[in-house]
Chain A
Amino acid sequence: MTRLSGGLVDRSQSLHFTFNGRSLAGHPGDTLASALLANGVRLMGRSFKYHRPRGPLTAGSEEPNALVTLRNGARLEPNTRATVAELYQGQEAYSQNHVGPLERDMLAINDLFSPFFAAGFYYKTFMWPGMLWEKFYEPLIRRAAGLGKLSMLADPDKYGKGFLHCDVLVIGGGAAGLASALTAARSGAQVILADEDFRLGGRLLAESHLLDNAPASEWVKRVEAELSGMANVRVLKRTTVFGAFDHGLFGAVERVGDHLPTPGDGVRQTLWRITAKRTVLCSGAVERHIPFQNNDRPGIMLAGAMRAFVNRWAVCPVQDTTDPIAIFTSNDDGHRTALDLISRGANVLGVVDVRAEAPRFGDYRLFAGARVTNSRGRLGLREIEIATDSGSQWHRCSALGVAGGWNPNVHLASHHRGRPVWDAEIQGFVPGSDLPKGMSVAGAAAGHGSTHAALTSGVQAAQAVLAELEVKADAPDLPAAEEAPIRQTQYWHVAGPGRAWVDFQNDVTVKDIALSYQENMRSVEHLKRWTTLGMATDQGKTANVTAIGIMSSLTGQTIAETGTTIYRPPYTGVSISVLGGGDTGKHFRPTRLTPTHAWAKSQGAVFVEVGQWMRAQYFPRPGETTWRQTVDREVLATRAAVGLCDVTTLGKVDVQGADATAFLDRLYCNAMASLKVGAVRYGIMLREDGHVYDDGTCARLSTNHYVVTTTTANAGTIYRHMEFARQCLWPELDVHLISTTEAWAQISVAGPNARRLLERVVDTHDISNEAFPFMACAELTVCNGLPARLFRISFSGELAFEVAVPARYGSALMARMVKVGADLGATPYGTEALGVMRIEKGHVAGNELNGQTTAQMLGMGKMVSVKKDAVGSVMSRRPGLVADKRQLVGAMPLNAQEPLAAGSHLFAPGAAHTTNNDLGWLSSAAYSPHAASFIALGFLEDGAERLGQEIICANPLSGRQVRARVVSPVFVDPDGGRLRD
């Protein structure tokens, strides 16, 4: 064990966990990485390409190496960073990306073939022969890609979603973030403080600096207590703000239950969409390393991470505390690690500083003007080679902290394409002026790396954004803190033979960058694609700037000239489950149920999705083995007796007002002004371009009161169209619209016995043919006083009515009519029979009103009135539309039992099936039990002149062709005698 004294772990409790089946123990407050290191485990995984042994490089979310799989079964969670995975009792962790034991990975042989996997490997290797790409190369690459494996089981956990609003969002709970949040909170502003860690404090917890001569954690504790007690503050720990989106919206994931053995009934993660008036980004900085030969062995980590393990988690990253530890640095900050190690009793070999004039901060061996040039150790660091101007020497060394400088964490500042700018003073990119609107940056993220500077800039940033909101904020008393100057030299890598890793996760080395340079892939964006640098789960957080530095040294350009890539959301990986907000399966989108849904379900109906609606498709009866049997029975029963169908889904718009008549006359292309009270008229609305928008009925209930119906599919769009016309085209008209689609359950009663059935439920109204003829409507009562509306309209071509009652009575009315109409043959039917009957009658529906057809094509050209203007009327008469010769026709196969397919294209017999010969298409097809044949509707050039001719219906998808005869589109009752009774 290499656990030191102190630290922020609760030693009063032990948490037992396993790593690759081996039982280990840690404490509350540990991450998996700190607990493993405390147990002497440094080897945690294998690298992506070369399967090199790897241990943690960092102590945070930027970790590229220590990726593990957590949990098992359906909760299997690959590619989890051990450095942020909070330890819990019973945690199961497994290393990944190896074949055989982690220590003896058979795929480590890849390392021997590394010359073949150099930059541009994919692009060079898989170019030829082309025929191998799809069947061989791509599957091969896909198999090799990725690190962990998915369980391929459905995620069993629950995920939440929600919305938060605030005046100031503070991202990051380190020194700057806490100071900023405290300033804003005390001003009374609504504040959200979000931090990805399970403990506030950021780097304050990782350093040994005192605040007001006390451990920094005490100040953090006091501030957290104050913030948590304020009603205007919300502290979100374990919450990663992963993206800055438009309009001040930030995406954040709160890991509510990831730190528990199982979330159980609880929520695992919550997706928060945070709307913030202002944001203070206090995301800190990420340390960079210095590539040297074989710099990727377990035991070599960033010097700042080493401090974090020592100070926060009280873990010395060596097998034994007497094992020597060295520091390799290009700046003063690296020396801090040595001092902290010494103060905790570690054996420090010395500090290797590339600067010839390196300062000394304590009693340790200083290698000034020196470099670490190589390392040894099969599964972990054993020796390092230190080179000076006078030569090189190998030293026993079990851990090495590398300090190459700090990169401000500018990720979120770039999400609106903000481009970071190079700051030569701190040797890092800082956020530019093109930040997301309302964002301010403070602390190390803005280049203010000392604790004092971070605290101060946090306060100032909060004051500045609050001033924009006209809120005065006083600066809180800040604790006295260190204010060491940032002193470092520009030093990107140790030149020399062998491979020096730049991007650990993608196994990109200095040689790869040099090769990219040689092959003219020199722009930062090309470099990224050619080498895969900066890709994968860590997105190059520890690699990008170093790579840019190396490329700039190769090109001779400055860093500023070389430029940088920018960042896109998400900052760290976000699970698809949480992005889905928990709405999966049937809850993926809302569904709409008809008023008779419960009744239909009780009758064994089979349902079909119609947009959001679930409609009864057909009502199978015992003995019926195919849907066709059921549908044929429903059609025949309706035509022979009476059928009942819920047609509530058709849109209904209530139109009232003194100018309602004029309004409708301008919307419908056919005349509506002449419609009498108590009558219904079929109407067509056109789009502005002259094509048919929708059809439906318009019922005039009183002088200034109409009910307009639309097709189910266009209920929303037609209502919007009508509102647009009311508000924007003719605001001078006194007309009032409101949807009543849902308010009324509407049931179609169709068939020769329809009237007899209705007479049994209508209270007193005379619905005889004389008193209530075809296209009549009335407000009346049914079933002893229930308000209802009755329309005599027919979609099936039979004597038919539609009766509407308040929706809550829909099921009861349907059940009542089925019951009282039993002796009349009352038969419920679904959308399938509805469709068959309307095709038999030649009535158009959504298939024909597809946005590409005109009234003329539908055989209703004369409905477009020339005596008045209406939306689309003029445009419908333009030559291009008038010249279209395609007309609605019917089609019957020569072999009545040969199915026709909607979508088939129409060709003259013998003509080649080419676009030039295309005469039209079939829009709807069905089997007609009435005609005892398959039938179809379609659009055919000069259709009226081709009646009786043979046509070929070709279905290029299935390769089928059907010979058919062109017939009238009306297969049933062409003179309309049935519906007029």
Chain B
Amino acid sequence: MEDVCVTDLVATTALGEFVPREQAIGQLVLSENASVALASLSLPMGVTRPAPFDIDLPGPGAWSAAGAVSAFWIGDGQWIFESPETRPCALSETLKSAVPGCPVTEQTDGYVVFEIRSQAGPRLISDVIERLANLDARKFTIGSAIRISIAHMPVFLIRRDAGEMKIIGIRSMAASLWHELTTAAEHIRATSSNLAGSKGQTQ
């Protein structure tokens, strides 16, 4: 799509605000990334697997990137692409051009993108995973992506970096998901303070 969108409508974030939310809890920083565009790609029958944006389309459970654009596997012959982009429907239009004949669907506003960064190394990210999802954190290494449930909410988890994890959830559930994420972070902080508080109580 050409960059013709000069709409004067003001977008709101998935949390219903005008500025993406960010909150530091202990050594974890949770934030909403409202500047990520998403589009899905399906592979028609008999079509050779393309490599849009020079991305080697990842297999099950995986995520791969080339430059600013990345993709993760979501099903048999299906991927979601993500790129830093705020123009409505821009990524899906670009992707359509890159893979002519392949079904592409605009997905940006189907989801909310949250990121959790650790300021104290990857261990804290593992702690977050343990609190949120039935996933073996040790095996969820860089380049992993998985569709999983958090508190009865379907999400994608993506590990792009040892000290960071992306949580892509259903947009309408953003508030409930944010609650779960912040609760998990608070519990991690509280548990460490409880353990600190118990020193002297036991040997």
Please list the residues of chain A having a beta carbon within 8 angstroms of any beta carbon in chain B. Answer: 8, 10, 13, 28-29, 86, 88, 158, 160-165, 190, 198-199, 256-257, 259-260, 263, 265-267, 270, 273, 275, 582-583, 587, 589-595, 597-598, 612-613, 648, 654, 656-658, 705, 734, 736, 738-745, 781-787, 805-813, 816
The answer to whether B203 touches A199 (Cβ under 8 A) is yes
- Are A591 and B190 interface neighbours, CB within 8 A? no
User: CA separation between A813 and B11, bound complex, in Å?
Assistant: 9
List A contacts of B130 (CB < 8 A).
162-164
- How distant is B162 from chain A, measured CB to nearest CB, in Å? 15
Question: Of A158, A275, A784, which one neighbours B7 at CB under 8 angstroms?
Answer: A784
Chain B residue nearest to A743 (CB atoms) is B110
- Residues on B with C-beta less than 8 A from A816 are 9
Question: A119: shortest Cβ distance to chain B, in Å?
Answer: 43
Nearest residue (CB) in A for B74 is A738
Asked whether A811 and B105 contact (CB < 8 A) given A13-B200, A266-B197, the answer is no
With A267-B187, A808-B14, A808-B34 known, 19 other A-B pairs at CB within 8 A are: A10-B203, A199-B202, A259-B202, A266-B194, A267-B190, A275-B136, A587-B179, A590-B152, A593-B174, A597-B16, A612-B173, A648-B172, A658-B45, A736-B44, A743-B109, A782-B7, A786-B5, A806-B106, A812-B9
Q: How far is the CB of A653 from chain B (nearest CB, A)?
A: 10
B152 — nearest CB in chain A belongs to which residue?
A590
**Contact (A592, B8) CB under 8 Å given A266-B194, A583-B151:** no
User: Would you list which residues of chain B between 103 and 138 have a CB under 8 Å from chain A?
Assistant: 103, 105-111, 130-138
Residue of B nearest to A275 (CB): B134
Complex: A745 Cα to B108 Cα, angstroms: 12
Do A198 and B202 have beta carbons less than 8 Å apart? yes
Contact at A158–B187, with CB atoms within 8 Å?
yes
Instruction: Give the one of A190, A198, A613, A654 with max B CB within 10 A.
Output: A654
Asked if B177 is at the interface of the complex by the 8 Å CB criterion, the answer is yes
Contact A656 B9 (CB under 8 A): no
Whether the Cβ atoms of B134 and A273 lie closer than 8 Å is yes
Name which of A8, A13, A785, A811 has the most chain B CB atoms within 10 A of its CB. Answer: A785
The complex places the Cα of A158 from the Cα of B190 at a distance, in Å, of 10
CB-based contact B173/A592 at 8 Å? yes
Given the known inter-chain contacts A587-B179, A738-B78, A739-B110, please indicate yes or no for A266 contacting B201, CB distance below 8 A: no
Nearest 6 pairs of A and B residues by beta carbon: A598-B16, A656-B103, A807-B109, A592-B172, A743-B110, A736-B42
List the B side residues contacting A782 at CB < 8 Å.
7
- Closest-CB distance, B100 to chain A (whole angstroms): 13
Task: Report A-chain residues with C-beta under 8 Å of the C-beta of B132.
Answer: 162
CB of B97 closer than 8 Å to a CB of A: no
Q: List, in ascending order, chain B residues with CB within 8 A of A8's CB.
A: 203
| Residue of B44, B138, B170, B175 touching A165 (CB-CB under 8 A) | B138
B10, B110, B130, B133: most-surrounded residue (chain A CB, <10 A): B110
- Selected from A657, A781, A805, the residue in CB contact (under 8 A) with B103 is A657
Q: Which residues of A contact B184 (CB under 8 A)?
A: 160
Docked Cα-Cα span, A590 to B172, in Å, equals 10
Q: How far is the CB of A608 from chain B (nearest CB, A)?
A: 15
Contact residues in B for A736 (Cβ distance below 8 Å): 42, 44, 78, 103
Interface residues of B (CB under 8 A from A): 1, 4-14, 16-17, 34, 40, 42, 44-45, 78, 88-89, 103, 105-111, 130-138, 151-153, 170-177, 179, 183-184, 186-187, 190-191, 193-195, 197-198, 200-203
Pairwise interchain contact B134-A163, C-beta atoms closer than 8 A:
yes
Whether the pair B7, A786 counts as a contact (CB closer than 8 A) is yes
Contact B89 A266 (CB under 8 A): no
A and B contact pairs by CB, cutoff 8 A, 8 listed: A158-B187, A275-B136, A590-B153, A593-B175, A597-B16, A656-B103, A786-B7, A816-B9
A29–B172 CB distance below 8 A:
no
- Give min CB distance, A724 to chain B, whole Å: 14
Residue of A nearest to B93 (CB): A787
Report yes or no: B187 in contact with A160, Cβ–Cβ below 8 A: yes
Check if B109 sits within 8 Å of A266, measured CB to CB.
Answer: no
Q: Tell me the minimal C-beta distance from B1 to chain A in angstroms.
A: 7
> Do residues A163 and B172 form an inter-chain contact, with CB atoms below 8 A?
no
Contact B201 A28 (CB under 8 A): yes
List chain A residues, Cβ under 8 A from B12: 595, 598, 808, 810-812
**In whole angstroms, what is the CA distance A613 to B8 when docked?**
29
- In the complex, number of A-B residue pairs with CB atoms less than 8 Å apart: 197
Cα A612 to Cα B152 with chains together (Å): 11
- Chain A residues closer than 8 Å to B179, beta-carbon distance: 587
| CB proximity of B158 to chain A, nearest CB, Å | 18
> What chain A residues lie within 8 Å of B110 (beta carbons)?
739-743, 807
Bound complex: CA A592 to CA B169 (Å): 11
**A472 CB → nearest B CB, Å:** 21
Complexed CA–CA distance, A590 and B183 (Å): 14
> A808 vs B203: C-alpha distance in the bound complex, in angstroms?
54
B129: shortest Cβ distance to chain A, in Å?
A: 8
Query: A10's closest neighbor in chain B, by CB?
Result: B203
Set of chain A residues within 8 Å of B174, measured between Cβ atoms: 593
CA separation between A175 and B10, bound complex, in Å? 66
Q: Is the CB of B191 within 8 A of A270?
A: yes
Distance in Å from the Cβ of A717 to the closest Cβ of chain B? 15
Q: Are A740 and B200 in contact (CB under 8 A)?
A: no
B201 → A minimal CB distance (Å):
5
| Cβ distance B180 to chain A, nearest Cβ, rounded Å | 8
- A467 CA to B39 CA, complexed, in Å: 47
Closest CB-CB distance, B27 to chain A, in whole Å? 16
CB of A484, distance to nearest CB on chain B (Å): 29
Given contacts A265-B190, A809-B88, A785 and B105 within 8 Å (CB-CB): no
Do A260 and B8 touch (CB < 8 A)? no
Give chain A residues whose Cβ lies under 8 Å from the Cβ of B177: 590
Chain B residues whose CB sits within 8 angstroms of the CB of A785 once the complex forms: 4-7
Are B109's CB and A744's CB within 8 A? yes
**Smallest CB–CB gap between A715 and chain B, Å?**
11
Report the Cα distance A738→B197, complex, angstroms.
Answer: 50
In the bound complex, what is the Cα–Cα distance between A785 and B111 (angstroms)?
22
Once the chains are docked, how many angstroms separate the CA of A157 from the CA of B152? 22
Query: What residues of chain A lie closer than 8 Å to B203, measured between beta carbons?
Result: 8, 10, 28-29, 199
A743 contact set on B, CB distance < 8 A: 106-110, 171
Is there an interface contact between A656 and B202, defined as CB atoms closer than 8 Å?
no
Q: Of the candidates B9, B14, B151, B187, which one forms a contact with A786 in the assembled complex, judged by CB atoms under 8 Å apart?
A: B9
A783–B10 Cα distance when bound, in Å, is 11
The answer to whether B153 and A809 have CB atoms under 8 Å apart is no
List the B side residues contacting A745 at CB < 8 Å: 109
Complex: chain B residue closest to A809, CB-CB: B9
- B183: chain A residues at CB < 8 Å are 582
Q: Which of A590, A654, A783, A808 interacts with B105 by CB under 8 Å?
A: A654
Complex: chain A residue closest to B177, CB-CB: A590
B173 touches A28 (CB 8 A): no
CA distance A745 to B171 in the complex (A): 11
B residues within 8 A CB of A742? Answer: 109-111, 170-172
Chain B residues with CB under 8 A of A783: 7-9
The answer to whether B173 and A740 have CB atoms under 8 Å apart is: no
Closest residue of chain B to A583 (Cβ to Cβ) is: B151
B129 nearest in chain A by CB position: A163
Q: B10 near A812 (CB under 8 angstroms)?
A: yes
CA–CA, A611 and B191, complex, Å: 34
Contact A160 B34 (CB under 8 A): no
CB closest chain-A residue, reference B5:
A785
Instruction: For the complex, give the distance between the alpha carbons of A270 and B12 in Å.
Output: 36
B191 and A256: CB pair below 8 A? Answer: yes
Nearest-neighbour CB distance to chain A for B43, whole angstroms, equals: 8
Residue of B nearest to A660 (CB): B103
Task: Tell me, in angstroms, the Cα distance from A738 to B110 when the chains sit together.
Answer: 11
* CB-CB under 8 A for A260 and B197, given A266-B191, A809-B11: yes
For B108, the chain A residues whose CB sits under 8 A away are 743, 806
Considering the complex, give the chain B residue whose CB is closest to the CB of A164.
B130
Chain A residue numbers with a CB within 8 Å of B111 are 742
Distance, CA A20 to CA B112, complexed state (A): 54
Q: Which residue of A lies closest to B3 (CB)?
A: A785
- Residues of chain A within 8 A (CB-CB) of B197 are 257, 260, 266
- Interchain nearest-CB distance for A260 vs B (Å): 6
